Amino acid sequence: MTLHLMARGGERASFRDLAAAAEVSPPTLRHYFGDRRAVIDAVLEECLRRGRPGLDAQRLSDLPFEASIHTYARSLVNALRAEKTVRLGDIFALSLAEGLTDPTYGRPALEHIVEPTLQALEARLAVHIARGEMRADVDPRMAALQLVSPLLLACLHQDQLEGAHLRAMNLEKLIATTCGAFLRAFAVSPPVWGYDEPPEPVLAAADWR
């Protein structure tokens, strides 16, 4: 069913389409879920369940602040673009499309996809604040939004919106630039390297989902 929802080139999957994808009759699907919103809620909740171990792994880091932020950013981009049948970017695209098309779908999108991603990074940033590496006057939630937003938008632009064919983007450079700006804004001791010069070595990122 998740694959059916991710299918591109057509209209939003109807309740009947979802029943067919689940290989049950519409009355059977309605018996268990009630309506289309509940089906979408269940699909996104299952995505969160499967992704929870990866999200939990992002909540902590033993790395210094600079390396931690670069590792997180690269890990997020790798997960959004991973060579999988359903990528994290596809899941974000689905949740945002559903929530923006119909506000009644907004809460499931936030609860199961957007907020868990932000909260994992918020927890990671709180660790760096506690260590004295990140400014204590910064709201981790606002900072998390500032780091995730440009990376997420860039990946959606390149992949789900097929922007790579229209105007290809150097995502490695974007990661370095975004992290550089983030560290200059929030680190207690801002880095001395330039925007496009991440610290060496940049550690390999773990896959999320």
User: Quick one: 152 exposed, middle or buried, by C-beta within 10 A (0-12, 13-18, 19+)?
Assistant: buried
Q: What is the pTM of this model?
A: 0.85
Q: How far apart are CA 109 and CA 136, in angstroms?
A: 30
* pLDDT one-digit tens code per residue, 15-73: 898 898 888 999 999 999 999 999 999 999 999 999 999 999 999 999 999 999 999 99
Share of the chain above pLDDT 90, in %: 75
pLDDT at residue 202 in the model: 46
Among candidates 148, 150, 144, 115, which has minimal Cα distance to 128? 144
* pLDDT one-digit tens code per residue, 93-110: 999 999 998 989 999 999
DSSP 80-92: HH-SSSS-HHHHH
Q: How far apart are CA 115 and CA 142, in angstroms?
A: 12
User: Domains plus CATH for the chain?
Assistant: 52-186 (1.10.357)
